[in-house]
């Protein structure tokens, strides 16, 4: 019903609305913005990963959002979980939506948000700019609707910001290997215990297999797990890759298991339920 209400209403009236999401967190919702609208339909679109973060995150954690899009994960971390956030989003139009959501939640002073791309070295890359949540680095100069974006490395930027995250979400549409190759200092830092990474074969456009990304993470001591929120259970993945959209990589599993059993309930407005 929420799906049909939004699809029909937004097309007839062309409106942008503010929707109450979790606890005090709010998001602007507009036609074609999949990462936001799916959370309206389902409560938590990436249910397992978002539930894990809500159950795991403690005071004092720091959240790194690589490929922030409109800021769903950044708002979850900052508003709902009340932790420091650094967010990277390279596409100017998408970055503006991220900025709007940060301002809507009055978090300008609590989230550091940067309109810059990330890779394994400094320079510039071309990105698609008309594909919402699936914008990506374009290596095909004939691909339509691309823009040139300055890029740097995570190690360079985090060093400049003096920022040491404990949790990272990375969703860069198949370019994860290059971003991780520019983050060797971060991956070696024991403060970083959790990485949520999208593994869905989208790296094939760059001739990169998901197994190459897994290899980088396992070399740095991260092991793949699935999380089952209703049981508060973390299960090691033998094939190192979840069947879900994202895979959860954890370095200190004992710490993670201890944390997810200490659960604070959060209210999801659209489904009128507690997570």
CATH number for position 104: 3.40.50.150
pTM of the predicted protein model: 0.94
For residue 64, CA distances in Å to 14, 113, 232, 243, 255 come to 33, 10, 23, 24, 19
In whole angstroms, give the CA distance from residue 35 to residue 29. 9
The per-residue pLDDT for 161 is 97
Looking at the predicted structure, is the pLDDT value of residue 4 above 70? yes
Query: What residues are paired with 17 via a beta bridge?
Result: 29
The per-residue pLDDT for 35 is 86
**33-75 pLDDT, tens digit each:** 888 999 999 999 999 999 999 999 999 999 999 999 999 999 9
The token pair that represents 135 in the structure block: 């914008």
With beta carbons less than 8 A apart as the criterion, state whether 271 and 43 touch.
yes
In whole angstroms, give the CA distance from residue 144 to residue 125. 15
The per-residue pLDDT for 250 is 98
Question: Residue range 248-259: average pLDDT?
Answer: 98
The model's confidence at residue 172, banded by pLDDT at 50, 70 and 90, is very high
- From the list 61, 59, 116, the residue with the least C-alpha distance to 87 is 116
Looking at the predicted structure, is the pLDDT value of residue 188 above 60? yes
Taking all residues of the chain, what is their mean pLDDT, rounded to a whole number? 93
Number of domains in the chain: 1
Burial class (CB in 10 A: 0-12, 13-18, 19+), 254: exposed
Looking at the predicted structure, is the pLDDT value of residue 140 above 90? no
3-state helix, strand, coil in the chain (%, to 5): 35, 25, 40
The per-residue pLDDT for 141 is 61
Domain that holds residue 225: 2-274
Q: String of b and e for 145-169 (b: at least 16 CB within 10 Å)?
A: ebbebebbbbbebbeeeebebbbbb
Residue 65: left if φ>0, alpha if ψ -120 to 50, beta else—which one?
A: beta
**255-267 pLDDT, tens digit each:** 999 999 877 889 9
The per-residue pLDDT for 142 is 56
With beta carbons less than 8 A apart as the criterion, state whether 83 and 62 touch.
yes
Q: Which residue has the higher pLDDT, 131 or 96?
A: 96
């Amino acid at each position: 019903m929420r799906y049909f209400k939004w699809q029909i209403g937004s097309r007839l009236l062309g409106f942008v609305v503010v929707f109450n999401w979790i606890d005090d967190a709010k998001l602007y919702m507009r036609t074609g913005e999949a990462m936001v609208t799916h959370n309206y339909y389902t409560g938590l679109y990436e249910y397992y990963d978002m539930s894990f973060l809500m159950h795991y995150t403690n005071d004092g954690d720091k959240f790194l959002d690589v490929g922030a899009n409109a800021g769903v994960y950044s708002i979850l971390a900052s508003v709902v979980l009340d932790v420091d956030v650094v967010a990277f989003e390279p596409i100017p139009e998408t970055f503006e939506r991220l900025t709007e959501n940060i301002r809507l939640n009055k978090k300008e002073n609590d989230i550091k948000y940067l309109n810059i791309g990330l890779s394994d070295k400094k320079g510039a890359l071309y990105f698609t700019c008309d594909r919402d949540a699936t914008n990506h680095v374009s290596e095909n100069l004939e691909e339509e609707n691309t823009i040139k974006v300055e890029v740097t490395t995570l190690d360079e930027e985090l060093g400049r910001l003096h920022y040491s995250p404990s949790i990272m979400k990375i969703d860069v549409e198949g370019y994860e290997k290059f971003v991780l190759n520019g983050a060797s200092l971060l991956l070696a830092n024991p403060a970083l215990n959790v990485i949520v990474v999208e593994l869905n074969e989208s790296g094939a456009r760059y001739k990169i297999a998901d197994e190459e990304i897994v290899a980088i993470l396992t070399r740095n001591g991260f092991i793949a797990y699935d999380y089952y929120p209703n049981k508060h259970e973390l299960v090691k993945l033998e094939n190192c890759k979840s069947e879900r959209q994202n895979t959860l990589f954890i370095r200190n599993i004992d710490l993670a298991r201890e944390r997810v059993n200490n659960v604070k309930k959060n209210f999801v407005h659209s489904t009128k339920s507690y997570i």
